[in-house]
Amino acid sequence: MTRFAYFCGHEQFQPEELVRHAVIAEEAGFDMVEVSEHFHPWVDDLGASGFAFATIAAMAQATERVEFVTGVTTPLWRFHPAVVAQAAATLDRLSGGRFNLGVGTGENLNEGPLGFRFPAYAERAARMSEALDIMRRLLDGEKLTYDGDFYVTDRAKLYSPPVHSLPILMAAGGPKSAALAGRKAEGVITSVKDPADTFARVIEPAKAAAAEAGKDAPTVLASRWSIHARDEDEAWSNLGAWRGLRAPGRLEAVDPKDLRERADEMPRSEILGKYSIVAEASDYVDVYAPLITDVHADIVAIQTSSSDQGAIIRMLGSEVLPELRALG
The catalytic residue positions are 38, 107
Q: What is the 3-state secondary structure (H, E, C) of 144-192?
A: EEEECCCCEEEEECCCCCCCCCCCEEEECCCHHHHHHHHHHCCEEEEEC
Range list of β-strands (E), the chain: 3-8, 32-35, 67-70, 99-103, 144-147, 152-156, 168-171, 187-191, 219-228, 276-278, 299-305
Could you tell me if 41 and 49 are in contact, meaning their C-beta atoms sit under 8 angstroms apart? yes
Q: How far is CA 43 from CA 172, 220, 247, 260, 263, in A?
A: 23, 29, 10, 5, 9
Whole-number Cα distances in Å, 299 to 38, 213, 314: 22, 23, 19
Q: Phi and psi for 24 in degrees, rounded to 5?
A: -65, -40
